[in-house]
């Protein structure tokens, strides 16, 4: 996102990048960018007291705030894409893990010798209930944790869609020299 924003500013002649990778506003009287992210970068460069690199500007609180606002807008637009899949094998495996964990707890409690519980009926019932209250969550969550750690994640439809998209038009419009300057400003050689 940052590289595309800076590429748009560089391509439109609104910023300059020197051979050392230092960025500065070009002084052009072009209109401000219509997109909020390049506009935020341009304002941040105007606030900087000297030419600076991309990594130095990333700590700017206003730039970070505007980035977060933009990302929240995008997340709201993509809410349907990011819904978890609550159907299919994942729920079945999770439910089976819960049932098996509870069954294991019951079998564990029933296999404890009678001498553990005490002589009276109250002590036996209290011991069984206490042991079930401790054993059931421990066994269940351990089993569910193991299943979730080993169960393959469902591929994100959003990730698959984004992977097929071409690079940002501002990035593809850069000349080789502009690409080299932008890479120097971002700290990538």
pLDDT in tens, 62-87: 888 888 888 888 877 777 666 665 56
Q: Residues 100, 37: one domain?
A: no
Whole-prediction pTM: 0.55
Q: Residues 106, 69: one domain?
A: no
Q: Which residues form the domain of 98? A: 89-150
Q: What angle do the packed helices 36-47 and 61-77 form, to 10 degrees?
A: 180
Q: Residues 139, 163: one domain?
A: no
Higher-confidence residue of 129 and 88: namely 129
For residue 42, the tally of other CB atoms under 10 A from its CB is 22
Whether residue 4 contacts residue 171, with contact meaning beta carbons closer than 8 Å, is answered with: yes
Q: Residues 100, 145: one domain?
A: yes
Confidence label for 20 from pLDDT (cuts 50, 70 and 90): confident
């Amino acid at each position: 996102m940052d590289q595309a924003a800076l590429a748009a500013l560089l391509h439109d002649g609104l910023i300059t990048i020197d051979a050392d990778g230092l960025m500065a506003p070009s002084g052009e009287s072009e209109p401000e960018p219509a997109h909020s992210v390049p506009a935020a970068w341009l304002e941040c460069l105007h606030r900087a007291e000297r030419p600076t690199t991309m990594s130095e500007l990333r700590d700017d609180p206003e730039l970070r705030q505007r980035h977060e606002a933009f990302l929240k807008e995008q997340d709201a637009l993509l809410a349907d894409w990011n819904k978890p899949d609550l159907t299919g094998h994942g729920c079945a495996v999770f439910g089976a893990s819960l049932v098996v964990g509870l069954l294991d707890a019951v079998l564990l409690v029933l296999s404890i010798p009678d001498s553990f519980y005490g002589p009276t009926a109250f002590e036996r019932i209290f011991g069984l209930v206490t042991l079930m209250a401790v054993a059931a969550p421990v066994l269940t969550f351990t089993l569910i944790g193991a299943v979730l750690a080993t169960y393959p994640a469902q591929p994100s439809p959003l990730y698959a869609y984004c992977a097929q998209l071409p690079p940002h038009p501002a990035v593809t419009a850069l000349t080789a020299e502009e690409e080299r300057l932008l890479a120097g400003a971002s700290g990538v050689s």
